[in-house]
Amino acid sequence: MKQKAKEIVFCTLLCVTLAACSQQESPGQPEEQQKTPAVQPAEEEPVRLSLARERCSAADKQVEYTIANTTGQRLGVHPVPRLERNTDTGWQTVPCHGGFCGVEDPLGEQWEGVLDLEWFAPLEPGEYRLTMTVTRQGEEWMQVQDTFRLEA
pLDDT tens for each residue of 2-45: 444 444 433 343 333 434 444 333 344 444 444 444 555 445 68
Q: Which domain holds residue 111?
A: 2-21+36-151
Rounded Cα distance between 107 and 128, Å, is 24
Query: Does residue 45 or residue 132 have the better pLDDT?
Result: 132
The tally of domains found in the chain comes to 1
Count of residues in the chain? 152
DSSP 79-120: EEEEEEEEETTEEEEPP-------PPEEE-SEEEEEEEGGGG
Q: How confident is the model at residue 113 (pLDDT cuts 50, 70, 90)?
A: very high
Residue 30 is assigned to a structural domain of this protein: no
Q: Is 86 within the bounds of a domain?
A: yes
The domain that holds 60 is classified in CATH as 2.60.40.2550
Q: Residue 27 domain-assigned? A: no
Residue 123: CB partners within 8 Å, gap ≥ 6?
58, 85, 94, 117, 150
- Which helix (H) or strand (E) segment holds residue 121: the answer is none
Whether residue 26 is contained in a domain is answered as: no
139 lies in some domain: yes
Q: Is residue 98 part of a domain?
A: yes
